[in-house]
Amino acid sequence: MNVVEDDELLAIGAFARRARLSQKALRLYDRQGLLPPDRVDPVTGYRYYRASRLAEARLIVRLRGLDMPLATVAEVLALPGEQAAEAVAGYWESVERRLAAQRELAAYLRIQLSGDEGMMDMYEIQQREVREQLVLIEQRNARPEDLPTWIPAATDRLVALAAQHGGVFDHPFVVYHGEVTEDSDGPVEVCVPIDPARAAEVTAAHRIEPAHREAYTRITKAQVQYPQILAAYDAVHHWIGKQGLDVGADPREVYFADWGPAGPADEVCDIAFPIGVQP
């Protein structure tokens, strides 16, 4: 196609056919500022588009094929080629994380709605002994939507403090002293263990975590997402009851892997309950 043809003004119907879009979609994109017409007849209000914009229109069609929201489409279109490609990759990674999380939630709901049959098949429950620990702490009341931001930030602050006392001594963990749901806000405590021998020099908020035995299950990054993480808590709690044991202290999440590079299927966290003695 030559330059003259590329610059040809096409009526909305012709442009829609060649772009494989409906006229309704073109009007929607116009209202969203995505693909405004090149000319609007002042008398009839009829829209005209340059043929050279067909590639842009077809790109929008393909981006929408990813179920990309119109606002995100606009952001991609505003970027130069390489950055636009990175934005599409980032969007699709977020979709895959969401789908992985929803897959876990759907599996749990099937188990729950069938009367908890198969819960022990979904989660492997183990036991271990945990030594006494000296932990730096940060605590607050939090809603589910607060946790993905606050927990990493609090952990980073405590890790920085730990560096002043010989560094992190064991895996950071998060203790839930109350339910965290849409209707309850904890409180929640982030804990970073340090060398117990440095106790005398610590001035920041800290406490002793007593030695205990705990039941736990290991979960993936996808399973950490709320609300499906609740399924792992339910599974461990259910197992403790089935064994004739008692819950000895508040539940916790033990983060043993580097969160950033972990994929949805990588194991990153233990859901653990301290347990009491068998009656």
Name the phi and psi angles at 270, rounded to 5. Answer: -110, 130
**C-alpha pair distances (Å), 111 with each of 124, 134, 242:** 15, 39, 17
Query: Which H or E run includes 17?
Result: helix 12-19
Give the whole-angstrom CA distance, residue 93 versus residue 86: 11
Domains of the chain as residue ranges with CATH: 3-76 (1.10.1660.10), 120-275 (3.20.80.10)
Closest CA to 272 of 252, 255, 256, 247: 252
Fill in the DSSP letter of residue 189. Answer: E
pLDDT values of the chain reduced to their tens digit, one per residue, 279 residues: 444 455 789 999 999 899 888 889 898 888 888 899 999 988 888 889 999 989 899 999 899 889 999 889 999 988 988 999 999 999 998 888 788 777 777 877 777 777 655 555 678 999 999 999 999 999 999 998 899 899 999 999 999 999 999 999 999 999 999 988 878 898 999 999 999 999 999 999 999 999 999 999 999 998 888 777 888 898 899 899 889 999 999 999 999 999 889 988 899 999 999 998 544
State the Rg of the chain over Cα: 27
Residue indicated by tokens 């952001």: 75
Question: What's this model's pTM, rounded to 2 decimal places?
Answer: 0.64
Please check whether residue 119 is in contact with residue 240, taking contact to mean a CB–CB distance below 8 angstroms: no
Fill in the DSSP letter of residue 20. Answer: T
DSSP of 63-81, one letter per residue? HHTTT--HHHHHHHHTS-H
Residue indicated by tokens 């406490």: 207
